[in-house]
Amino acid sequence: MKVLIAGAGSVGRHMAEQLALSGHDVRIVDVEPSVVGDKADGGPIDGVTWFLGDACEVGFLNKIGIETIDVVAAVTGDDEDNLVISLLSKQEFAVPRVVARVNNPKNEWMFNEMWGVDMSVSTPHLLTALVEEAVNVGSMVRLLSLEGGKTHLVEVTLAPDSPALKKEVGGLGLPREAAVVALVRAGHVIVPRNDTVVQGGDEVLVLVSLGSEAEATDAAIRAALVG
Amino acid sequence: MGLFSRKKSTNGEVIAVSPSCHLDDVVPIGEIVARRRVRVVGEVVRMKTRPAQGVASLAVRIEDETGAATVVFTGRRSIGGVSLGRLLLVEGVAMNRGDTPEFTNPEYTLLPREATKA
């Protein structure tokens, strides 16, 4: 797979390294001469081609061969640049998959198909979720969003007063758009069946597709698991 | 009547002429190669608004004798002049969305309606 990474900071560089190790053809771009090429910290990476230039410019993207690129990852430290790079990739070059980094969570609302973004990742958001997940017993934490924000993986650690205790998975009363995909109990992953009984302390992982009734679905899941 | 021909009445008089010179390099919609810059002409047969997190896009389906394509205009619900039955000249790069090529915010030209339709 041919991947173009825009932004050669630590995120971009590490992505390039890992993708190249997996055998992909990686191109990485940055405007900063000091990070590109032989002068970069740690030297150039095997299997990765470096370019110095502005990924927000159509002419430059053409020059580096974007028309055969399968995936563009816009991972600069600047949200505006990431949006422009995403839109140009989709609109001018019909890149099949565009992934973008969200630096400031306040901008997350823009990172969707309006700006050519197929998948966005907000590191602060992810980290917050993981922190909450570690400390929150009894409330619902959103771990991950998939499919451009239409599907979410949420997690509830069942508190002692949860209405779900001692009920079977099939009888939890979850809305139709939610599916219990796993239980984590004492470090073991349990693939639930309809008659699996949940216990206090279980981490319940639910996959939810949010349609037009997102708030109602959300409330229903909380009502069933949190109380 | 195809999109690029002249229609003659029974006594040989030309009664409808399709636009000419700026339709150089137009390819049939059925021959669109994804991810290559192309020019196509199609008739608007369907218009849909796609909501996306509070902001809408307009998805226009254009057809000619050889196939159909989708033209998406982001961030708006309508475009002046783009209506059902209108001929649209579209220039841009399409991606394959299932079987249907899809353009995002391409350059577009509104072509005059033909004087008569077959």
Cross-chain Cβ contact B93/A92 below 8 Å: yes
A125-161 pLDDT, tens digit each: 888 877 777 766 678 887 877 766 678 888 898 988 8
A81-115 pLDDT, tens digit each: 999 999 999 999 999 999 999 999 899 888 988 89
A65-80 pLDDT, tens digit each: 999 999 999 999 999 9
Cross-chain Cβ contact A114/B52 below 8 Å: yes
Q: How much is the pLDDT for A203? A: 92
- Residue bearing the bigger pLDDT, A41 or A87: A87
Can you tell me whether residue A130 is helix, strand or coil?
Answer: helix
Mean pLDDT of A5-29: 93
Cα angle, residue A67 at apex, residues A64 and A71 outer, rounded to 5°: 90
Q: How much is the pLDDT for B97? A: 84
Q: How much is the pLDDT for B13? A: 61
Cross-chain Cβ contact B95/A94 below 8 Å: yes
Q: What percent of chain A shows pLDDT beyond 90? A: 56
Architecture category of domain A136-225 in CATH: 2-Layer Sandwich (3.30)
Closest partner CB to A114 (pick from B74, B94, B95): B74
Q: How much is the pLDDT for A10? A: 87
Q: Which of B112, B54, B40 is nearest to A112 (CA)?
A: B54
Closest partner CB to B53 (pick from A94, A95, A109): A109
Q: What percent of chain A shows pLDDT beyond 70? A: 93
**Residues near A147 by Cβ (< 8 Å), separated by ≥ 6?**
none
Sign of the C-alpha dihedral, residues B81, B84, B86, B92?
Answer: positive
Q: Which of A205, A112, A190, A201 is nearest to A153 (CA)?
A: A205
Q: How much is the pLDDT for B22? A: 57
Architecture category of domain A2-121 in CATH: 3-Layer(aba) Sandwich (3.40)
Closest partner CB to B95 (pick from A96, A113, A115): A96
CA distance A148 to chain B (A): 10
Going from N- to C-terminal start, the domains of chain A cover 2-121, 136-225
Q: How much is the pLDDT for B25? A: 85
Q: How much is the pLDDT for A141? A: 82
Q: How much is the pLDDT for A51? A: 92
Which residues from B are below 8 Å from A91, CB to CB?
A: 92-93, 104-105
Q: Can you give the pLDDT of all 118 residues of chain B as single tens digits?
A: 345 555 556 666 654 445 444 567 899 999 999 999 999 999 999 999 987 666 789 999 999 999 999 999 988 899 999 999 999 999 999 999 888 999 999 999 999 875 334 3
Do B51 and B90 meet the contact criterion of CB atoms below 8 Å apart?
no
Going from N- to C-terminal start, the domains of chain B cover 25-110
Which residues from B are below 8 Å from A116, CB to CB?
A: 104
Q: Which of A141, A145, A146, A119 is nearest to A130 (CA)?
A: A141
Do A58 and A84 meet the contact criterion of CB atoms below 8 Å apart?
no
- For residue A211, pLDDT over 90 is answered with no
Q: How much is the pLDDT for B2? A: 47
Cross-chain Cβ contact A109/B92 below 8 Å: no
**β B67-74/B55-64 pair status:** antiparallel
CA distance A212 to chain B (A): 10
What is the CATH class of B25-110?
mainly beta
Cross-chain Cβ contact A90/B104 below 8 Å: yes
Q: How much is the pLDDT for A54? A: 96
Q: How much is the pLDDT for A137? A: 67
- For residue A23, pLDDT over 50 is answered with yes
ipTM comes to 0.72
